[in-house]
Amino acid sequence: MDKELYRILKHTSRSIYLSIKAMPKNVRELFAVGYLLCRAADTIADTPVVTDEKKLAYIKDFPAIVSSPSQNSEKLDLIMRNILPSYQSEYEKNLLLCLKKILQAADKLSPQNKQLVHFVVTQVCRGMETDLSYFVPSKKIKAFETAQQLEHYCRYIGGAPGIFWAKSLIINSNIKKNTQHMPEQGAMIGDALQITNILRDMPADLKNGRCYLPLEDLQTVNLTPEDLLNPKSIKSLKPVINKWILWAMERLKFAEPFFSSIPKTQVRYRAATMWPIYWCMDTLHKIAASDNLLDAESKVKIPKSKIYATILKTPAALISNKFFNQGFRLRRETNLSVIPE
């Protein structure tokens, strides 16, 4: 894949970039293309210069554009014409300018891998359709009504990429045993990664009129979505936050069997799988311990030192499932220790 696309990838997500760079060369492009296409769809959905109705139409068209770019070139050109001038960010603009290159790279993938890319883009776009159709602009912040709605949303935006990750490993590696459960295990891990992102990014989402935490949860602590604009509401909101951290931790239990299913000879796959799981758990710990989660000026973020410390400890985990499990369980116990029973 074009080096410029890897540079864009590096600036859109440092953790995803590191995981993809760790992948074997034969699948690095598959993961990069899948991520960049989902990221491009997100950039289209976030543009401020067209109505939500138009953005919804663009997102509904996007999977077809990915599947058959030559047959849908007019739709792509229309999208680019309408939204490209709105972006001031160098990297978002470059991502859109390189979209045709990314589509060309996707078109060169094997038929099986192209199907996987189309699957993940379609599912993620369905989640974005929820954002654009459910969270319609209004003077009041809108929230999901039920926990089930949030769980379904996490499955589209996080679980589907987890399935993509698992099936990509199965198809493109020498994994022979214990593969039948890996897609669902990947989905569970992806769900956890997505709820982590939601909890971390609450202030920005609230500013955009979106409250992903369900009303039925907020009502148990006598809060409204508008109350969450006040950083001091964090004390009352803690039980709800802790509920969803525990929900994430339950899904992350599937990380141990998922990791163990990857043969020890597949060292690059094991590294690329270990890192996002550990970083997710480290982020959950910071979320659980934070008293400033609703403060837009205090964004929760694990430091680079933590990221590189994890990478430095990787070699032991590559040859030992026990070492991975020890690190995983230590993080689990640390996270649970800051959540009241």
pLDDT in tens, 210-256: 999 999 999 999 999 999 999 999 999 999 999 999 999 999 999 99
Q: Residue 24: what pLDDT?
A: 87
Say whether both 169 and 125 belong to one domain: no
Residues 287 and 155 in one domain: yes
* 176 pLDDT tier (thresholds 50, 70, 90): confident
The per-residue pLDDT for range 127-158, each reduced to its tens digit, is 999 999 999 877 789 999 999 999 999 999 99
Range of the domain at 192: 136-341
Q: Show which of 112, 134, 156 is a domain's final residue.
A: 134
For residues 164-180, average pLDDT: 87
- The residue out of 134, 151, 183 marking a domain boundary is 134
Instruction: Supply the mean pLDDT for the chain.
Output: 92
| 163 shares a domain with 129 | no
Pair (26, 39) in one structural domain? yes
Which CATH number goes with the domain that contains 98?
A: 1.10.600.10
Beta-carbon contacts of residue 82 (< 8 Å; ≥ 6 apart): 47, 49, 50, 54
Which of 89, 116, 134 finishes a domain? 134
- Residues 190 and 145 placed together within one structural domain of the fold: yes
pLDDT value, residue 202:
97
Number of domains in the chain: 2
pLDDT at 311 over 80: yes
Q: Same domain for 149 and 13?
A: no
Give yes or no: residues 86 and 142 share one domain: no
Residues 123 and 161 in one domain: no
Residues 155 and 270 in one domain: yes
- 6 versus 167: the higher-pLDDT residue is 167
Q: Which of 56-60, 243-247, 298-302 has the lowest mean pLDDT?
A: 298-302
Residue 1 has pLDDT above 70, yes or no: no
Q: Give the pLDDT band (50/70/90) at residue 204.
A: very high
With cut-offs at 50, 70 and 90, classify the pLDDT of residue 88.
Answer: low
pLDDT for 126 equals 97
**Greater model confidence, 114 or 49:** 114
Tens-digit pLDDT profile for residues 160-170: 999 999 999 99
Same-domain check for residues 62 and 180: no
The answer on 183 and 81 residing in a single domain is no
Residue 174, exposed/middle/buried by CB under 10 A (0-12, 13-18, 19+)?
exposed
- 103 closest CA partner among 59, 51, 40: 40
| CA–CA gap between residue 172 and residue 181 (Å, rounded) | 17
C-alpha 262/C-alpha 177 separation (Å) is 9
